Amino acid sequence: MPYLSGVTTLSALHESLDDPEFWARYTYAYADGPGADRLGELEDLLDDDEDEDEDEDEEGDDDDLSFDVDFEVGAGHDVVLSIDVWADSYSLGVAVPGVDEPAELGWDDLAHWHPHALRWSELDLIVRAISARNPGQWPPGAALALLCRFAAVFDDDDVDGAVAAVDEAYAALRPEHWDGYWPRGTDWLDRADFRGKDVRWQSDEAGNRWVTERDADAEPFYSIRLAPDPGADDGFPHGLLRAVLDAAAVTVGDRAEPDGA
C-alpha cells in the first residue's frame, strides 16, 4: 500500500496511520533513528521501496507525495502539519484568522532540522483541543502520534506521563494482529529528552516563552524559538502561537471566552 497518494486529502493520511512502513519513515527509524533495531523484515521492504522510488524518478513520476493537514483547535485557529514522506521533510506551523499564510514553528528533516517548537504542556493542550473540536475526524491517538515529533520535555515536565501518553497514542493506531515494528513512546523520548541539558526557558509580560542554552557542551536544542525580536520579520511567530494556544485553552475550558467574542 502506498503511504500517501499525490492528492492532498485527509483520507490519504488516514489510510497510512496503521501502516508500519509509514511510521518507520515518519519517525526516521528506517534511517537509523530510534527503533531501527526493531525493524526486522520491514527493513528489507523499505530498501525495496527505495529502489522502486529511484526507478519511478527515472521514468519521470510527478507524484511528490506531500501535503498539508490542518488541525483546528478553535475559532478558526489551526495547527498545520506539512508532510513530504519521500523527501523525509516535515514542518509544523500555525494559522490564524486574518493571516494569509501559516507561520512556521519548526521543521524536521535529515539535514538541518529544527524540530523543537513546543513544550509538552503546549502539545498536550493542542491535542486535547483537536480532539474536542473535531470529534470523530481523527482516529484516537493520531494527532499526538503525528505532532509529538515537534515537542520536547524538560526537567519540570511529567516525563513518565508524557512517554506513557505517546506510547498509548502509537498503540491505539497499531493494527490488531501486527506484531512487527511499531513506534514506541521511548523512541520519541530518545529525540525529545532535554532533562539535565541546561536548556532554560524565559518569558516576558506578553506571555512569550523562549529558550536559552548555557552549557555549550550540552546536546544542542535545535529550535527557532528564540527571544522575540521586533525588528525581525522572519523570527519565531510568538504572537501567532499564543493566539493558537489561547484558542485551544478556550476550546477545552481551561480559559473563558474573551469578552466580546
Give the mean model confidence (pLDDT) for residues 224-243: 88
- 57 has a pLDDT exceeding 60: no
- Crossing angle between the packed helical segments 185-192 and 159-173, to the nearest 10 degrees: 130
pLDDT band at 215 (very low <50, low <70, confident <90, very high): low
Give the mean model confidence (pLDDT) for residues 115-139: 95
pTM over 0.85, yes/no: yes
pLDDT of res. 13: 85
Give the mean model confidence (pLDDT) for residues 218-244: 87
- 4 has a pLDDT exceeding 60: no
Beta bridge mates, 213: 199
Cα dihedral 31/85/194/248 (nearest 10): -160
